[in-house]
Chains A and B, each alone.
Chain A
Amino acid sequence: MPRLKKVRQLPLNRWIDLALFLFLLSFPTWQNTYWVYIMSGIMAYMIFALSLDLLWGYTGLMSMGHSVLFGSGGYMIGIASAWANQADWIKFDQLPWFLALLSSPLGAFLAALLLPGLIALFIGLFMFSGKIRGVFFSLITLALAGIAELFVINQSRYTHGDSGITVTSRTLFSNADSQRLTDQQFYFVVLAFLLGSYLLCLWLVNTRTGKVLQGIRENESRLTYLGYKPAAFKLFIFVLSGMMAGLAGMLFVRVQGSINHSSIGINLATLVLVWVAVGGRGNLTGALIGTLLLQFSETKLNSVFSGISADFAQYWKLVLGLLLLLIVFVIPRGLIGVLLDYQQSRQDRDRKAAIMQKEVNRHGANP
């Protein structure tokens, strides 16, 4: 029976996760290719949101420029693909030494994971050893997103500037034009990576390391007086989160078939914050559900309203902004947070009743 009790004590959101993955698994069987393609992109964004949840929801480091890591992963694949197919804007005969890794398909895959990891490592070393925290961390990361956007626009020799890069190969490794998985096939590739990322996050947040990360969020200085060195933990989670964001960027570019500066800049950095805030921070489910809900509605509403107004995308941003304000004021813990609070308060009530009963029994036994 203790096993059964354990299942019943499971947080509600784990059931939502299970339902979500079953839904995603069956999705291509009853949806057309267009929606399978849309959902693949949303799943790549879900990995991105998970990576931010590790950093913001669990560790309390609100990165306002997480897109830098997403975009740098994406651009690695973009440049590798443009090079492999000798896109017409490529004016160089040889990859420069710092992009040499991109000449092989596996090298490009690794670069898309390692570059975001390295960027996170350097930013992290600079910030965490300098004891930069709180709003200053957020502002510096925000500035970095702005810088990264300008950087890729200016480095048009390698990034094709404003126009961005078209990527036509939809495979896991190959960047050659001729090889291409169908939308359905690639959907399951992304789903497998999403499931893997989710399980990694779930494992990590339940380890002692995960508890230390939450300790950093709750009371960093207290941890120091317990003998921990928070900087090492923050660096670790920033690099891991960065590599996950890079993975998301790589998958997204292959789904979407293109990448431009908006994927590395403030635009996407803000979007992912909204997804995680609306879904709820620090429980993984919120990141998944928030992304699904908002991206799905955007696509759906876009197709409904595009006939009425061509400027729908502009209005959608307005809606998102209002939604964010509403969430922050009404349910600051997000949709899933509200659900978990409800479960927690019910369990607390039962526990309190049990404690009262125990008191009564004890006083009854020896009056």
Chain B
Amino acid sequence: MAPTLNPEAAPVLLETRGLSVNFNGFQALSDISLSIRQGELRVIIGPNGAGKTTFMDLITAKARPSAGQVLFEGQDITGKSAAEIARRYKIGRKFQGPNVFDNMTVAENIELAIAGYESLPQSLFFRASAAFRHRVTEILEQIELADYRDFMATDLSHGQRQWLEIGMVFAQDPKLIILDEPTSGMTADETKKTGEMIKKLKGEHTILVVEHDMDFVRQVADYVTVFNFGKLLVEGTLEAVQQNPEVQAVYLKEAD
């Protein structure tokens, strides 16, 4: 097992203060304050409709909070555009359900995701260097798709498409990696491989994962946050959280 980082030692990378959002009268999230330290792998769990995905939407500017702040490296990023959050603050997100460029090859998907050439002139006069091509191959090997580089993304299996999107997030070289249900629809074998992919990044990258699959959570997580009905229920190590009677009542029982 990778050495666990002392959560108190590293500086805080992402912090939310009193984050709330209201969709036409429905309080999807209320008063979420949590912080994630550099190098941490944090898993958010909670039953359906607990507001996990909404929380990620607020961080990546897919939705706007009705109250509260998102701080990244101490800077307030609430209200910034999605492109700016991806490019300037380097937060990469994998969406729920594979969200890739279907009628483009696997390699093209990864190439587009590699950061640093997002403006029009940059992309117009871009020429792939040997280092760039090497990086593409490296990522493809990381997500076990090296043999599939010339396939269209649409022709991959569901699990492989999930990996492809995970690879796209790696390619962005983000400071914070957000993975929304990375193993949904995967076979047990694929789920295990995904867990290994993510564990390899532990320590070097800061990762925030939302997940339903408890086997997967046990495999990767050491620090867990539980959401329920849009509120932060409890935080702690996986062992401590599993012991918590409140958590057992709302979530773990029905998931297992």
Residues on A facing B (Cβ under 8 Å): 207-209, 211-212, 214-215, 217-219, 222-229, 232-233, 236, 344, 347-348, 351, 354-355, 358
Query: CA–CA, A228 to B101, complex, Å?
Result: 14
**Would you list 30 pairs from A and B whose C-beta atoms are within 8 A, ordered by A residue?**
A207-B123, A207-B124, A207-B126, A208-B117, A208-B122, A208-B124, A211-B104, A211-B111, A212-B112, A214-B108, A217-B103, A218-B101, A219-B101, A222-B95, A222-B101, A224-B86, A225-B86, A225-B92, A225-B93, A225-B95, A226-B112, A226-B113, A226-B168, A227-B84, A227-B118, A228-B83, A348-B151, A348-B155, A351-B148, A351-B151
Known: A209-B123, A211-B123, A226-B112. 17 other contacts (CB 8 A): A207-B123, A207-B126, A208-B117, A211-B104, A211-B112, A212-B112, A218-B104, A219-B102, A225-B83, A225-B92, A226-B86, A226-B168, A227-B84, A227-B87, A227-B172, A236-B120, A351-B148
Q: A225-B60, A227-B118 are in contact. Are A214 and B147 (CB under 8 A)?
A: no
Shortest beta-carbon distance, B87 to chain A, in Å? 3
Chain B minimum-CB-distance residue to A282: B103
Contacts of A218 in B (CB 8 A): 101-104
Query: CA–CA, A344 to B111, complex, Å?
Result: 20
Contacts of B118 in A (CB 8 A): 226-229
Query: CA–CA, A223 to B84, complex, Å?
Result: 12
Interface residues of B in 61-117 (CB under 8 A from A): 62, 82-84, 86-87, 92-93, 95, 99-104, 108, 111-113, 115, 117
Are the C-beta atoms of B112 and A215 separated by less than 8 Å? Answer: yes
Chain A minimum-CB-distance residue to B62: A225
Bits for B162-180, please: 1 = Cβ < 8 Å to A, else 0: 0000001000100000000
Are the C-beta atoms of A355 and B155 separated by less than 8 Å? Answer: no
B246: interface (CB < 8 Å): no
Q: A227-B118, A229-B118 are in contact. Are A215 and B83 (CB under 8 A)?
A: no
Interface residues of B in 155-213 (CB under 8 A from A): 155, 168, 172
Contacts of A228 in B (CB 8 A): 83, 118
CB-contact partner of A226 in B84, B152, B172, under 8 A: B172
Shortest beta-carbon distance, B104 to chain A, in Å? 6
Is chain A's interface secondary structure helix, strand, loop, or mixed overall? Answer: helix
Are the C-beta atoms of A351 and B147 separated by less than 8 Å? Answer: yes
Interface size class of B (residues with CB under 8 A): 35 or more
Q: A207-B123, A209-B124, A227-B115 are in contact. Are A215 and B150 (CB under 8 A)?
A: no
Bits for B5-24, please: 1 = Cβ < 8 Å to A, else 0: 00000000000000000000
Bits for B129-158, please: 1 = Cβ < 8 Å to A, else 0: 000000000000000000110111001000
Query: CA–CA, A215 to B114, complex, Å?
Result: 14
Q: A207-B126, A218-B101, A226-B112 are in contact. Are A344 and B120 (CB under 8 A)?
A: no
Query: CA–CA, A232 to B81, complex, Å?
Result: 15
Contacts of B148 in A (CB 8 A): 351, 355
Chain B minimum-CB-distance residue to A358: B147
Query: CA–CA, A143 to B84, complex, Å?
Result: 35
Contacts of B120 in A (CB 8 A): 209, 232-233, 236
CB-contact partner of B82 in A214, A225, A232, under 8 A: A225
Contacts of B83 in A (CB 8 A): 224-225, 227-229
Query: CA–CA, A104 to B119, complex, Å?
Result: 37
Shortest beta-carbon distance, A215 to chain B, in Å? 5
Contacts of A344 in B (CB 8 A): 152
Query: CA–CA, A232 to B121, complex, Å?
Result: 11
Contacts of B101 in A (CB 8 A): 214-215, 218-219, 222
Contacts of A227 in B (CB 8 A): 83-84, 86-87, 115, 118, 172
Query: CA–CA, A8 to B87, complex, Å?
Result: 38
Query: CA–CA, A348 to B149, complex, Å?
Result: 11
Contacts of B172 in A (CB 8 A): 226-227
Query: CA–CA, A358 to B115, complex, Å?
Result: 32
Chain A minimum-CB-distance residue to B87: A227
Are the C-beta atoms of A219 and B100 separated by less than 8 Å? Answer: yes
Query: CA–CA, A348 to B154, complex, Å?
Result: 12
Contacts of A229 in B (CB 8 A): 83, 118
Are the C-beta atoms of B104 and A215 separated by less than 8 Å? Answer: yes
Query: CA–CA, A232 to B83, complex, Å?
Result: 12
